[in-house]
Amino acid sequence: MTRILIVEDEAPLLRALRINLRARGYDVDAATHGVDALTTAGRTPPDLVILDLGLPDMDGVDVIRGLRGWCAAPIIVLSARDAQAEKVDALDAGADDYVTKPFGMDELLARMRAALRRATPADTAPVVETASFTVDLAAKRVTAGDQEIRLTPTEWHLLEALARHPGKLVGHRQLLHDVWGPNYQTETNYLRVYMAQLRRKLEPDPSRPRHLITEPGMGYRFEP
């Protein structure tokens, strides 16, 4: 059964969505706050997320960014915000579609079906474990045993970009684009510096890395 996570603090709309989706055979989880949404998604990964941007505790765009750290499920934004800049921010953060309130249920269902057809399975679980450390992609934490390993934001983004694709080569240009942006795709020295910092913090023997592997001339690979 396809699992849908609805993130909406407007009770009548949440109730209507839940009833309509369950009537059509979807398994539905619901959250009214951003933090609850991230926790629910981490515990039971959804196949698709329907997300309101105006949440009581945090902006919906931040929820999108939190989910996109590990979750490949399509995200459809439902929002009364109709300004172009709002739509661009949500789509740039990782949303797949944007529906402006008020909306028709038939249109939303059609957009859901289209998003699910385009969807591909997530590459990773929310938690990636290695023999040396654990990466919690949902909580954005790295731990070794009971100790949290402190990473800078850039170190985290680099580790996250690799951990999302365990065992797969991620090219220099892709990493630079994902971590630093499109204007830095030739700055491979950035990768060398930050990869060395990550290895010092995470690898048992940084001179002989087991988890953060260099593919000479091509990129890097994360091995759990």
Q: What is the pLDDT of residue 120?
A: 55
Mean pLDDT value across the chain: 89
Per-domain boundaries in the chain = 3-118, 127-222
Question: What's the pLDDT tens digit per position in 14-63?
Answer: 999 999 999 999 999 999 999 999 999 988 889 999 999 999 999 999 99
Residue tagged 């030739």 (tokens): 186
Question: For residue 109, what pLDDT is reported?
Answer: 93
pLDDT digits (tens, 9 = 90+) for 163-188: 988 888 888 888 888 788 767 778 88
Answer whether the bond into residue 216 is a cis peptide, omega within 30°: no
CATH number (3.40.50.280, 1.10.287.70, 1.10.10.10, 3.40.47.10) of 127-222 reads 1.10.10.10
Residue 123 has pLDDT above 60, yes or no: no
Whether the per-residue pLDDT at 201 is higher than 90: the answer is yes
pLDDT (0 to 100) of residue 83: 80
Query: What percentage of the chain exceeds 70 in pLDDT?
Result: 97
Q: Summarize pLDDT for 90-107 with one digit per residue, the tens.
A: 888 889 899 988 889 999
| Helix extents (H) in 69-170 | 84-93, 105-118, 153-163
Q: What is the pTM of this model?
A: 0.57
Cβ pair 6, 33 in contact under 8 A: no
pLDDT score for 25:
93
Q: Which tokens go with 177?
A: 């684009």
Q: Enter the CATH code of domain 3-118.
A: 3.40.50.2300
CA dist 64 and 5 (Å) reads 13
Residues 137-155 have pLDDT tens digits of 888 899 998 899 999 989 9
